Structure 1
Amino acid sequence: MILGAATPALSPVIPFTVKCNNGLVVVCSASKHASNKALTGLVFEPFEQVKKELMLVPAAPHLYLARHNYSHHSESAINHQINVEYNLSYVYHAMFAYFDRHNVALKGLARFFRESSAEEREQAEKFMEYQNKCGGKVKLQSIIMPLSEFEDAEKGDALHAMELALSLQKLTNEKLHHVHKVAVKNNDAQMADFVQNRYLRHQVKVIKRISEYVAQLRRVGKGHGVWHFDQMLLQEGAAA
């Protein structure tokens, strides 16, 4: 000990005993003012740290208890995307109705657009489920009345409809990228992962597939080749 140096105050010692399996009794001691953290090495104190989180739990019964780190910007973006998916489903359903007519009778195209309509509607429902999981509110909006005629004097109805479908899928891809940007901007990792893994990756495949259909229809023209293309779609649908 260095003379003249300040001597730290000694805490009272509290003895306690521990009985071992071999019958020996060991006498131990601990400081009266020693913290529980120092004795146990405890790092995570849930009852202390949860106090801040308790302040975030809404008391009003009409508020959502599941909401956590979910911004109103994210909620609005999801509702907008729900509307996008339903509108796209409605357009595809109109295409199905057109190609299923008795005087058009392209059953392969009719099946393709009917399945596409169901897929877009399912995606809208998935966004609705996600909205509810995050504690948001689903707000459905108006759906625009789609076209009912897809005949084109220069391209023909099949090519015209497929080019429209390709343009709509590219537009949907842009809308999904916007939703992803909103998630990233608001530090919403769950939402960013949901959009990227479930939708953006799938969107690349859809755009590639419809692009190939457009290229094939441009090659076959408006005549007999459209019927063969339609039969190809029927076979693909049956094999799926």
Structure 2
Amino acid sequence: MSSYFAQDDVSLPGLAAYYKVASDEEREHAIKFINYQIKRGGKVQIECIRAPPTNNWENALKSLEVSLALEKRKSDSHLTKYLEDEFLEEQVQAIKELGDYVTQIKRAGPQGIGRIFI
């Protein structure tokens, strides 16, 4: 998503920066999960991550709605304590932030007046 919004024909650098930070954060989470698995004596098996369903996010609102849906994913009950300790507050903040952005863009209307990421 970051690279899409950084393209010269889209040019929403604030949104590109937001998604870059989010991507870096998710990578840090993956490393924490790897370290957690190793601590528990498990074997880390890296598999391919599916590409997003599209490379054309159409507009800021659509991308934020997709991001919000991904942030609301369900958790694994076996990792509940670990997830709560490591990620819950951050997850709640991400859901709030994305929800606010969706609301603000909807409020701005189809012309995008007052976009928050410019």
TM-score, with structure 2 as normaliser: 0.91
* Counterpart for residue 160 of structure 1: 62
What do the CA deviations read for 1:176-228 (whole angstroms, capped 9, x no partner)?
2x2xx225xxxxxxxx43211111232111111110110000000232425x4
What do the CA deviations read for 1:108-166 (whole angstroms, capped 9, x no partner)?
00000011111111101100011111111101112112221111xxxxx0101111110
* Counterpart for residue 222 of structure 1: 110
- Indicate the percent of aligned positions where both proteins have the same amino acid: 36
RMSD over equivalenced CA pairs, Å? 1.4
Higher alpha-carbon Rg: 1
1:192-207 equivalences in 2 (<5 Å): 192-207=80-95
2:113 aligns to what SS in structure 1? helix
Which structure shows the higher strand fraction? 1
Aligned length: 117
* 2:68–2:95 CA contact under 8 A, matched in 1: yes
* Counterpart for residue 57 of structure 2: 150
* Counterpart for residue 29 of structure 2: 123
What do the CA deviations read for 1:84-105 (whole angstroms, capped 9, x no partner)?
xxxxxxxxxxx11110000111
Structure 1, unaligned runs of 5 or more? 1-94, 152-156, 184-191, 232-240
Structure 2, unaligned runs of 5 or more? none
Cα distance, 1:214–1:224 mapped onto 2, change above 3 Å: closer
* 2:67–2:98 CA contact under 8 A, matched in 1: yes
* 2:105–2:112 CA contact under 8 A, matched in 1: no
